[in-house]
Structure 1
Amino acid sequence: MTKKRILSPDRLAECEAAHTLFLSKKNELKLSQKKIADAAGMTPAAVNLYFKGINPLNAQFAAVLARMIQEPVEAFSPRLAEEIRSMTSAPVVREDSASYSVGGTAADVVRDMLSRSGKNLSEDARRRLLAAAQAEDGGGVIELDYYRPGVVGDEVWIAHYDVRAAMGGGQIPHDYPEMLQDIRVSPQHLREMGVEFKEHFHLKMVTGWGQSMAPTIKHRDPLLVDISIREFVGDGIYMFSWEGHLYIKRLQWIGDGHIKMISDNERHQPLEIRADDTYIQARVLLVWNANLV
């Protein structure tokens, strides 16, 4: 099976371009992911998900990032630059780029950006970024694969993340999680089963790893998670980063800025951790058990 990244190629190119520009400016401007996160009102882990190409860039984050790195939004996302322009009717290109002012095409701006700041981008990223700009100009069509209609009823595709979320001592997540496979499900059927979610494209599959959440979650059980939940919203099972490792555990609020991390058996004792040091990535909604009979 051919591996496909979680985001479509144009969205990945935007993330890669944004990350490259950040790295090229961080020393000069004394920037860090935490400073970007503070300015954007989010956690450093959330910023990292943008830079790693796990989450697509949005206009709000793009505007903050552009201001922090002192580059125009076009430098990494002509799509979002146009979105911001349509909302504000304000120029979002350099003042010194007179030839590529508001009236210039997105492809022209990207070509200019690549000639000035794109030397660290891979050829594939350069190609994808330019293709995305040309699509914005009406010169092509970008295929988005985060939603593909099923062949029956309301079925949709849900991506499977190539990460092992530990139900024990913790796993160090991959730098670039990819889809191992897709599954086809019916959102209506999931809701009838009691699974609560706002949008189907918030749903992803991950694999639990370890024994500490048995019998609720067994080793290698596939899990349906909602990646739109990035903060504690009540007692439950979450996928979260803590001290550089990725876990799946029960979290229980105990007050005074602390959370209790709980396993479902006695292999690991409950642990009290600081909420500020816990970066929630998703909430587990469903265990896809495969029980032998």
Structure 2
Amino acid sequence: MTKKALDPERKAESDKLKAIFNSKKRDLGLTQEKLAHALDMNQSSVSHYLNGVNPLNAPVAAEFSKILDVPVEDFSPRLAQQMIEMMGFVTDLRAKASVKRLVDDDFRDITSNASELADIDEWDEKSPLRDDEVEVPFLREVELAAGTGRFVIQEDVGESLRFKKKNLRENNVQFGHAKCVTVRGNSMMPVLRDGATVGVDLGKTALGDIIDGDLYAINHNGQLRVKQLFRLPQGIRLRSFNRDDHPDEEYSFSQMQDEQIAILGHVFWWGMYAR
């Protein structure tokens, strides 16, 4: 099955990155093979990023930036802005009783012109959905029986966020496949803090759907985890951003069965409080 071609903006990002690599590889003593080794991924994945087969994402762009010694903004202003937001300038869309209507377009309105803040409409669980919105529920770990220590992942009927239908369509997320997950712990610091919220596309669960370096929600024997995923010849690698405290985990296909590891879906959005 042929992959869908990237949109012009993301293809242009890959083209700019490839041009930077070609212009600097001699001075830096790099080949695609050496670049792949430095990025800790296979050469095929590097080629896919440089040639616009796979879209660049913020974590991968940061690694390319560090190795090629160029700011991310030189090849992707979009991801550079996204990385600023991830470092703490994004307002978390999840609230306890009342949630602010700051989804995607509204936030871009604010950041594009800080001197002209858009009005914020408050809503709660009793507020009716707008025609251009969809309500996205949360997933959570639920203990099967007291004292067993075993969990399953179920939908939390008590919590949800609202997203614009247009933005889900633009990210190729079917409305019924969108769920939200809360990140716990420090393993994804500094990109995702404890308590950060991520949007997950449950329509992308196959090993063949994995784009190396992208974020995915995982069911690990009832534990809800968010990790970078990489495909290996005989299995998968789970990676945390905080690799000092949380080293890579590699699982063969048989170990995935034994450990009951399943991909819940691809992370298409995230947000958190600045603190």
**Does the alignment reach a TM-score above 0.5?**
no
Superposition TM-score, scaled by structure 2 size: 0.43
Superposition TM-score, scaled by structure 1 size: 0.41
